Amino acid sequence: MIVVIDYGVGNVKSVTNAVKYIGCETKVSCDPADIESADGLILPGVGACGYAMEKLGGLADVICDVAKGGKPLLGICLGFQILFDESFEHGTFKCLGLVEGKVVPIPAGRTIPHMGWNYVKFPERMDLFAGLGDGKHFAFAHSYYAEVTDGDAVVAYTDYGMDIAASVQKGNIFGCQFHPEKSGVDGLDVLRNFEKYCKGATC
C-alpha cells in the first residue's frame, strides 16, 4: 500500500489517478498510523513552501522519522522541494532536512515559471528511471529550484539555460521536481519504478 499524504496542499487527485492507473493499491491519508504502516509514501504538493510547511505541521516529524527508518518516500514538485533543509520562497522556511540543500528562485533572464516539458538527463543508477532509456521529457511547473549539496544524493538534471535538479535519490528518499503523474507514459513508468522499489524495501 502506497499512502499519498494529504495535507490540504496540492493536486492529490492527479497523483492518486496516476497511482491507481498503474494498478497500485493506494490510500490518501494524513493519519500518522497510515503513514507508519505504508509500504511507501508519496508527498505531493503545489503552492508556496511556507504555507505547505504550516499545513504539514506535526506530520513533518512523523514523515522524517519513518523516512530515516528506511521507508521509501517520493516527494513531487513542492513535495520534492520540502525534502531539503530550507526554502527561500517568499521568506526563509525550515523544511524537512532529509536531503542537504536549499531552494532558491530560478534566476531572471528566462521565462518563469519553468513551465512545460523538458529533457531530463539521469545517471543510470537512479532507481526511478530504471529501464526508461534516453531522450525522455517530463512536465515541469515551478519558479524555485533546489541547489543540492548532499554528497550522498544522486541527482538528475534538466537544462533551462542552467542546470536544474529534476530528480534526486538518497537511499530510500526520492524526489522529482517534475510531475511524474502528469508526464505521460514515461511519468507513469517512474511511478511504477517507485512502486517496485517499495515492494522490495523492508519497512
Partner 1 sequence: MLTKRIIPCLDVKDNRVVKGVNFLNLRDAGDPVELGGRYSDEGADELVFLDITATIRSNKTIIELVEKVAANVFIPFTVGGGITEPGQIGELLRSGADKCSINTAAVMNPQILAESSKRYGNQCVVLAIDARRTKGVKNKWHVTVRAGSEPTDIDAVDWAKRAEELGAGEILLTSMDADGTKAGFDIELTRAVADAVDIPVIASGGAGSLESCYDVLADGNASAVLAASIFHYEEYTVKDVKDYLAGRGVAMRPVV
Q: How far apart are CA 137 and CA 121, in angstroms?
A: 9
User: Per CB under 8 A, which of residues 42..81 are in contact with partner 1?
Assistant: 46-48, 51, 78
Q: Give the nearest distance from C-beta 86 to partner 1 in angstroms.
A: 18
Active site (annotated) includes residue 95: no
Nearer to partner 1, 19 or 35 (CB): 19
Choose the catalytic residue: 77, 95, 176, 198: 77
> Which of 71/114 has CB closer to partner 1?
114
The rounded Cα 132 to chain-centroid distance in angstroms is: 18
181 carries an active-site annotation: yes
Task: Give the CA angle between residues 147, 58, 33 to the nearest 5°.
Answer: 110
Strand order, beta sheet including 144-148:
93-94, 86-87, 101-105, 144-148
| Binding piece for partner 1, criterion CB under 8 A, among 11-19, 35-43, 67-75, 145-153 | 11-19
The cell 538527463 sits on which residue? Answer: 121
| Residue in the structure block whose three cell numbers are 533546489 | 146
Question: Is the Cβ of residue 33 or residue 108 nearer to partner 1 in the bound state?
Answer: 108
Q: Cβ closer to partner 1: 38 or 49?
A: 49
Q: Does 10 bind partner 1 (CB under 8 A)?
A: yes
Q: Do residues 166 and 177 lie in contact, with contact meaning Cβ atoms separated by under 8 Å?
A: yes
Q: Which of positions 90-149 make contact with partner 1 (CB under 8 A)?
A: 108, 110-119, 135, 137, 139-143
Q: How far apart, in whole angstroms, are the C-alpha atoms of residue 60 and residue 66?
A: 10
137 is a catalytic site residue: no
* Residue bearing cell 513552501: 49
Residues noted as catalytic: 77, 179, 181
